Amino acid sequence: MSKSDSRAETAARIRHLLDTEGDAVAENTRGFNRGRYESTGELGDYESLKSEARAIKEDAIERLPELIDDLRESVEARGGHLYVADDAADANEYVREVVDGGNVVKSKSMTTEELDLNEALEADGARVTETDLGEWVIQLAEEDPSHIIGPAIHKSREGIAELFNERFDPEEPLETAEELTAFAREKLLEDVREADVGVTGANFLTADSGTMALVTSEGNARKTAVVPDTHVAVSGVEKVIPTIEDLAPFVELIARSGTGQDITSYVSLFTPPVASPPVDFSDPDSAVADPGRVAGDGATEPHPDREFHLVLVDNGRLDMREDDDLRETLYCIRCGACSNSCGNFQSVGGHAFGGETYSGGIATGWEAGIEGLDTAAEFNDLCTGCSRCVPACPVEIDIPWINTVVRDRINRSGDPGDLDFLVDGLTPDEEPAGLDPTKRLFGNFETLARLGSATAPLSNWGAGLGPVRAAMDRWLGIAPERDLPTFERETLVDWFAARGGPRVSESMARREAVVYPDVYTNHVAVDRGRAAVRTLEALGVRVRVPESAAAASGRAPLSQGMVETAREKAERCRDALLPEIDAGRDVVVIEPSDLAAFEREYERLLPADDAERVADGCYEVLEYVFGLLENGADPGGLAAGDGEPVAYHAHCQQRTLDLEAHTVAVLERLGYEVTTSETECCGMAGSFGYKSQYYELSMDVGEPLVEQFGDADRVLASGTSCGEQLDALLGSPAEHPIEAIAPADG
Amino acid sequence: MTADTLSTFVDAVERHHASVHRVAPDEATSTIADLVDAPAVGVPLPDAWGIDLPDTVGTDPTPADLDAAATGVTAGSLAVADYGTVVLESDAAGSEAVSLFPERHVVVVRTEDVVPGMREAIGRLGDRLRDGASAVLATGPSATADMGELVIGAHGPREVDVVLVESAGGGESVAGDGDPATGGATDE
C-alpha cells in the first residue's frame, strides 16, 4: 500500500472511532482527569509521594530477581505455589492444568488480556466469566478494552442496555444504570456460586509477606478470591515490591491518579492461601466456617481447603529490564493517568491509541517490549510529545521519551522508501533511508525555514497554490486544510542588526539577556520576537539577538523520533548558547517547546553537566518578565490591560514545566482579566495537526477550546502551533502574551 | 487517636457514602440491633471487646444464609481517619464473606483503633500481614462506574454503617499511640 493510501486508511479509522466512540470516551476520560486534579490537589505531599513511589519501583526493578526469590519463599512457606512463566504460552499452559476445564470466574486483569488466557482456557471447555462489570460488557460484546482501567468507557449506558436486552431478553427491558448493575450482579452471582477457580490479577505483590494488593471498587475481586477454594493470581513480574510498608504511597496515589477517587472501595491485601473458608454453594446448608468461631480466629493460618497459585509472567519484561530506554515502563502501575490526561486519547480512546493489549501513552513501552515494534508502530504516532502525562504519572515515568525512542526505533526499522529523493536534498540529517517522508520533512523544519526566508515571498506564494497543496498532501502527507507558515524575508536576527543592536547601555542595564531566535520566531513569527525585545528593553534589560544564537534546539527532529539528528542539533545549540550563559547573559526563550527541550530532553541528549548549565541559564519569556517585575523593574512602559478580558491558552509543555502561572501573574499585574483554558493540549502539538491523516483528530482534540473561548474577544497563546490551531478553531488569530504587553513599536 | 482524628474519620466515612454511629460500649448492641435489616448474619466480635451481637443476628451462616441475608455484621480491626477506611481482616470465622454478600454491612470499630493516616495503618498492618494475615481496606459501599454512570452498590454491599464504639475512657484518647496489638484480632 502506498503511504498516501495508508494515511487515508488511518484517517478513515480515526474518523469512524470519533463518530462511534468519541463522545463516551471523551466524557469519561475528561471526568477522570478533572477528578485527578481535584483529588491530588488535596494531598499536601503529592510530589513527595510520587518521588517515593518512583524510588520504590526503581529499587524493586533493580533487585527484581532477588525479590522474586523472596516472594517465592513467602508464598511457598504458606503452601502456595509460585510459577515464573517465560511467555504467554507457558503461563496459559500452567493455568490450564490448574483449571482443568472447570468453571472460572475472573476479576479484571490486563495481564490475562495480554496472555489471551480466556481463549486458552475455553479451548479446554472451561466456562470463563469476567465479573468486573465493564470487563463483562466487553466479554459479552466480544470487543477489546478501550482503557486499561475502564475497559468499557467507550460504551454509553444506552449501548450497554441494548446489549443486555438483546442478549438476555429480560421480562422488563433494562434502562437505568442501577437496573443494569443490579441485573449484572445477580447474573454474575450465579457464575460465582458455580465457580471452581477464581482468577485475579494483582496490582502489587510484597516480597516480604507474599501479600497481593488488589485495587477495586465493585467487590468482585473479593468474591473471586474468597468463594472458590482455588485461587490463581496472574501478574507481570514487575509487580513485586519489597515490603508491605512500601505499599503506603501507592495506596494513596493509585486511585487519585486513575479515576480521581481518593481511594477505591476496596484495597484487598490478601496473603494467600487466605484464612477465609471457601463458600461452597453446592452444599448450601452446611455452615461456611467451623461453628463457634469468632472474629479474628485463625486469621494468620491458611485455610486447609485452599489452593493458591501465583503465576508471574515474564513475556518480554526481563528484557525490558535490561533496556535503558524501556526499563521505566516496568515502573508503571497501570493507573490510566497517561490516558486520561492525553488530548488524543480523550478523543479516540484505546481502540485507536493502543496496541494488542495496552492503551494510552505508556502502551508504546508495553507493546514495544511485549509484542514488538510492529505493534507499537500502529499507534505510536498518536503520542504528540505534549508531555501532559508527565506530571500525571504517579511514578514519574518520562512517557514522551519512551514514545520518542520507540519512534526512533520504528524509523530505523523501515524499508528504504521510493520517495526519499524528494526530501533528501533538503535534509542533511542523521537518519536512515526509509524514514517516513512526512517525519523527515517536519524533522528538518530548520532547513526549510532558512530556505523559506531566503526565498520569501516566492516561497510563500508557491506553497499557497492549489496544485502544490494537493501534491503536498499526496506525497508528503500535509493536510490541505491547514494554513502553512508564512516565512518573513527579514528574520528577527536581521531586524535586530538593522535596528542597530542593543538599545540599553551596559551601565544602565538591570540584566543582560539574549532573546533566543528559535526557528519559528526568527523566520515566521518575527513580531513576537520584536515584542520580546521591546518589552525587555522597557524593563531595563540590555538585549542582544546574535546570529550565532540562531541554532535550532532539536525539538523538531525529536518530535519525529529522529533522535540522532536531534542530538546533533542539541550539540550545536549548546555550543551557541553556553558562551552567552558563561558571559553572564540570561537566555530568554519565547517558544515553550524549545524551552522544554532545554529543560527536559537535553539531559537525554547531552552530557549531564552541559544539559544542566543550559537548563539553568534559560528562561521562558514571561517567566523572565515576572522575575524582573518581582525584583522591582518598573512596568510603566508596558501596555496595561485596564481590565480588558483575555482568554489564555498556555502551551502544553509550558504547563508541564509549571510555567503557566507566571504568564497569568504578569497579565493580571498589568491589569488584564485572564481566563485560562481547561484543555490539556490544543490538538496541534507542533506538527501533528498538519499531518493529513491526523487533521480531523487534531481539530476534535481542540473542540473544547471552541466551547470555552468561542466568544472571547482577545485570545492569547504561548506556543506557535497553538496559535495556528486557535486561529483554525476560532477563526481569528491568537497573539503571544508578550505581544499583548509589549510597548508599542516605535 | 484524638478527638480531631475521630471527627476527621466521621467526616471521611460520610464523604464516602456511608454512616457512622458513635456509641458508648454499653449502647453498641442495641445500636447494632437498630441498624440490621432481617435476615441478618454476623461473626461474633472478639471476646476482649465485651460486646455481644443482638439476638436478631444469626451466626455460623451457611451459604444459603449468606445468599438470603440483608445485613452482615463484622468487626473492623483498624480504621483510617483521613480516608474513612475500615480494615476488615480475613479469618477462619468467615468475616470476609459476611462483610461482602449482604446488601448492608454493619461494621463495629473501636475508637482506640482509629489511626490518623494511611501510612500509620499500613505500618500497623506490616507485621500482621507478614505473620500471614489478610485484610481489606474497605472505604464506603461497593460501587461501579461501568454502566454509564456512578452506581452505589455493585457486587458488594450497597450500604455501610460504621458503629464506632467509644473507648472506656471517653472521647479523648486512651490509646492514642497505643499498642499495635490492639489493632489486630485476638487469637494469637
Tell me what the mean pLDDT of segment A355-368 comes to: 97
Using CA atoms, how far residue A667 sits from A654, A727, A739, in Å, is 16, 21, 11
Tell me the Cα Rg of chain A.
28
Nearest residue of A to residue B120 by CA position? A248
Q: Cβ contact (<8 Å) for B93 and A293?
A: yes
Out of A133, A287, A288, closest to residue B146 by CB: A133
Q: Cβ contact (<8 Å) for B137 and A290?
A: no
Band of residue A415 on the pLDDT scale cut at 50, 70, 90: low
Band of residue B169 on the pLDDT scale cut at 50, 70, 90: low
Question: In the prediction, which pLDDT does B71 show?
Answer: 98
Q: Cβ contact (<8 Å) for B94 and A288?
A: yes
Question: In the prediction, which pLDDT does A451 show?
Answer: 79
Q: Cβ contact (<8 Å) for B91 and A297?
A: yes
- Tell me, yes or no, if B145 comes closer than 8 A to chain A by beta carbon: yes
Question: In the prediction, which pLDDT does A659 show?
Answer: 97
Question: In the prediction, which pLDDT does A483 show?
Answer: 85
- Beta carbons within 10 angstroms of residue A408's beta carbon: 23
> Which part of chain A has CATH 3.40.50.10420?
58-280+298-313
Least Cα distance to B156 among A442, A107, A12 occurs for: A107
Residues 6+ apart with CB under 8 A from A225: A107, A198, A200, A214, A231, A268, A270, A272, A274
Q: Cβ contact (<8 Å) for B91 and A276?
A: yes
Indicate whether B162 belongs to any domain. Answer: yes
Question: In the prediction, which pLDDT does A472 show?
Answer: 80
Question: In the prediction, which pLDDT does A3 show?
Answer: 76
Q: Cβ contact (<8 Å) for A266 and B156?
A: yes
Residues of chain A contacting B67 with CB distance shorter than 8 Å? 281, 284
Residue B180 confidence (pLDDT) above 70:
no
Q: In a 3-state reduction of DSSP, which class is residue A691?
A: strand
Out of B118, B151, B155, closest to residue A220 by CB: B155
- Tell me, yes or no, if B123 comes closer than 8 A to chain A by beta carbon: yes
**DSSP structure class, residue A401:** H
Residues of chain A contacting B129 with CB distance shorter than 8 Å? 206, 209, 211, 244, 269, 271
- Tell me, yes or no, if B111 comes closer than 8 A to chain A by beta carbon: no
Question: In the prediction, which pLDDT does B187 show?
Answer: 34
Question: In the prediction, which pLDDT does A429 show?
Answer: 74
Distance from CA of A400 to the nearest CA of B (A): 29
Residues of chain B contacting A296 with CB distance shorter than 8 Å? 46, 75, 77, 89, 91, 93, 184-187
Indicate whether B87 belongs to any domain. Answer: yes
Distance from CA of A387 to the nearest CA of B (A): 28
Residue B171 confidence (pLDDT) above 50:
no
The topology under which CATH files domain A58-280+298-313 is: Rossmann fold (3.40.50)
Q: In a 3-state reduction of DSSP, which class is residue A654?
A: helix
Residue of B82, B155, B165, B187 for testing the chain A interface, max A β-carbons within 10 Å: B155
Tell me what the mean pLDDT of segment A14-20 comes to: 95
Residues of chain A contacting B143 with CB distance shorter than 8 Å? 217-218, 265
* Rounded Cα–Cα distance for residues A445 and A559 (Å): 11
Q: Which of residues 204-233 of A touch B (CB under 8 A)?
A: 206, 208-209, 211, 217-220, 222-223, 226-227
- Tell me, yes or no, if B77 comes closer than 8 A to chain A by beta carbon: yes
Using CA atoms, how far residue A370 sits from A115, A329, A374, in Å, is 10, 11, 11
Query: Which residue do the cell numbers 545549540 mark?
Result: A573
Nearest residue of B to residue A296 by CA position? B185
- Tell me, yes or no, if A468 comes closer than 8 A to chain B by beta carbon: no
pLDDT digits (tens, 9 = 90+) for A294-333: 999 999 999 999 999 999 999 999 999 999 999 999 999 9
Tell me what the mean pLDDT of segment B7-25 comes to: 98
pLDDT digits (tens, 9 = 90+) for A267-294: 999 999 999 999 999 999 999 999 999 9
Query: Which residue do the cell numbers 460504551 mark?
Result: A155
Tell me what the mean pLDDT of segment A397-411 comes to: 96
Question: In the prediction, which pLDDT does A2 show?
Answer: 74
Cβ-contact B175, B169 below 8 angstroms: no
pLDDT digits (tens, 9 = 90+) for A646-686: 999 999 999 999 999 999 999 999 999 999 999 999 998 88
Q: Cβ contact (<8 Å) for A181 and B147?
A: yes
Cβ-contact A290, A301 below 8 angstroms: no
Q: Cβ contact (<8 Å) for B155 and A277?
A: no
Nearest residue of B to residue A299 by CA position? B91
- Tell me, yes or no, if B135 comes closer than 8 A to chain A by beta carbon: yes
Q: How far is CA A120 from the centre of its chain?
A: 32
- Tell me, yes or no, if A318 comes closer than 8 A to chain B by beta carbon: no
- Tell me, yes or no, if A288 comes closer than 8 A to chain B by beta carbon: yes
Distance from CA of B123 to the nearest CA of A (A): 6
Q: Cβ contact (<8 Å) for A276 and B137?
A: no
- Tell me, yes or no, if B100 comes closer than 8 A to chain A by beta carbon: yes
Q: Is A465 exposed, middle or buried (0-12, 13-18, 19+ CB in 10 A)?
A: exposed
Nearest residue of B to residue A283 by CA position? B63
Question: In the prediction, which pLDDT does A431 show?
Answer: 78
Residue A449 confidence (pLDDT) above 60:
yes
Tell me what the mean pLDDT of segment A338-350 comes to: 97
Question: In the prediction, which pLDDT does B108 show?
Answer: 98
Residues 6+ apart with CB under 8 A from A608: none
Question: In the prediction, which pLDDT does A265 show?
Answer: 98
**DSSP structure class, residue A155:** S
- Tell me, yes or no, if A463 comes closer than 8 A to chain B by beta carbon: no
Q: Cβ contact (<8 Å) for B100 and A226?
A: yes
Residues of chain B contacting A302 with CB distance shorter than 8 Å? 132
Question: In the prediction, which pLDDT does A441 show?
Answer: 80
* Rounded Cα–Cα distance for residues A19 and A143 (Å): 17
Q: Cβ contact (<8 Å) for B146 and A152?
A: yes
Identify the residue with better confidence: A466 or A214. A214
Q: What are phi and psi of A84, to 5 degrees?
A: -95, 115
pLDDT digits (tens, 9 = 90+) for A209-250: 999 999 999 999 999 999 999 999 999 999 999 999 999 999
Tell me what the mean pLDDT of segment A359-363 comes to: 97
* Rounded Cα–Cα distance for residues A56 and A16 (Å): 42
Question: In the prediction, which pLDDT does B69 show?
Answer: 98
* Rounded Cα–Cα distance for residues B139 and B79 (Å): 10
Q: In a 3-state reduction of DSSP, which class is residue A714?
A: coil
Q: Please provide the average confidence, as pLDDT, over all residues in chain A.
A: 94
Q: Please provide the average confidence, as pLDDT, over all residues in chain B.
A: 90
* Rounded Cα–Cα distance for residues A411 and A435 (Å): 5
Q: Cβ contact (<8 Å) for A245 and B63?
A: no
* Rounded Cα–Cα distance for residues A359 and A687 (Å): 22
Residue A459 confidence (pLDDT) above 80:
no
Give me A619's grid cell.
Answer: 528562561
pLDDT digits (tens, 9 = 90+) for A21-36: 999 999 999 999 999 9
Out of B134, B139, B184, closest to residue A275 by CB: B134
Residues of chain B contacting A284 with CB distance shorter than 8 Å? 62-64, 67
Q: State the residue range of the domain holding B14.
A: 3-170
- Tell me, yes or no, if A245 comes closer than 8 A to chain B by beta carbon: yes
- Tell me, yes or no, if B116 comes closer than 8 A to chain A by beta carbon: no
Characterise A20 by phi-psi region: left (phi > 0), alpha (psi -120 to 50), beta (else): alpha
Band of residue A481 on the pLDDT scale cut at 50, 70, 90: confident
- Tell me, yes or no, if A118 comes closer than 8 A to chain B by beta carbon: no
Q: Cβ contact (<8 Å) for B93 and A296?
A: yes
Residues of chain B contacting A220 with CB distance shorter than 8 Å? 154-155
Question: In the prediction, which pLDDT does A670 show?
Answer: 98
pLDDT digits (tens, 9 = 90+) for A165-209: 999 999 999 999 999 999 999 999 999 999 999 999 999 999 999
pLDDT digits (tens, 9 = 90+) for A691-737: 999 999 999 999 999 999 999 999 999 999 899 999 999 998 899 99
Q: Cβ contact (<8 Å) for B133 and A300?
A: yes
What is the count of residue pairs from A and B with beta carbons less than 8 Å apart?
A: 255
* Rounded Cα–Cα distance for residues B158 and B26 (Å): 28
Residues of chain B contacting A134 with CB distance shorter than 8 Å? 144, 146
pTM exceeds cut of 0.90: yes
Residues 6+ apart with CB under 8 A from B93: A289, A293, A294, A295, A296, A297, A298, B43, B44
ipTM of this predicted complex? 0.93
- Tell me, yes or no, if A160 comes closer than 8 A to chain B by beta carbon: yes
Question: In the prediction, which pLDDT does B182 show?
Answer: 37
Tell me what the mean pLDDT of segment A343-370 comes to: 97
**DSSP structure class, residue A476:** I
Q: Cβ contact (<8 Å) for B61 and A287?
A: yes
Distance from CA of A186 to the nearest CA of B (A): 9
Q: In a 3-state reduction of DSSP, which class is residue A735?
A: strand
pLDDT digits (tens, 9 = 90+) for A582-636: 999 999 999 999 999 999 999 999 999 999 999 999 999 999 999 999 999 999 9
Give me A203's grid cell.
Answer: 496490582
Question: In the prediction, which pLDDT does A736 show?
Answer: 98
Residue of A154, A217, A253 for testing the chain B interface, max B β-carbons within 10 Å: A217
Q: How far is CA A377 from the centre of its chain?
A: 16
Tell me what the mean pLDDT of segment A150-155 comes to: 96
- Report the relative pairing of strands A240-241 and A266-270 from DSSP bridges: unpaired
Least confident span in A101-105, A741-745, B89-93 = A741-745
Indicate whether B164 belongs to any domain. Answer: yes
Using CA atoms, how far residue B170 sits from B29, B83, B173, B179, in Å, is 18, 23, 8, 18
Nearest residue of A to residue B97 by CA position? A226
Residue B103 confidence (pLDDT) above 60:
yes
